Amino acid sequence: MADKDKFPTVSDLRTNSLEELKGLLSKTRTDYANLRFQHKLSNLQNVKLLSASRKHIAQILTVIKEKEQEI
């Protein structure tokens, strides 16, 4: 994720299906791992992306839990 604005909002996440959310979670975790790797190599220009990615992962997990409790 190159830009913080590319993260969908929580209301957008709630419109996705459970399978889509799990796929998005996997992709976001992979992106976060890549950001951490870039940060360790001092190649990351915008360090705020790390915290934004962690926040986005938490939001996805929250929506997944909400959907699982609905079922």
* First CA to last CA distance, the chain: 31
Write down all domains in the chain, each with its CATH number in brackets: 4-70 (1.10.287.310)
Confidence category of residue 5, pLDDT binned at 50, 70, 90: low
Whole-number pLDDT of residue 1: 45
Average pLDDT, the chain: 91
Distance, CA of 62 to CA of 47 (rounded, Å): 24
Confidence category of residue 6, pLDDT binned at 50, 70, 90: confident
- pLDDT tens for each residue of 10-44: 999 999 999 999 999 999 999 999 999 999 999 88
Instruction: Assess contact for 1 and 7: CB atoms under 8 A.
Output: yes
Whole-number pLDDT of residue 4: 53
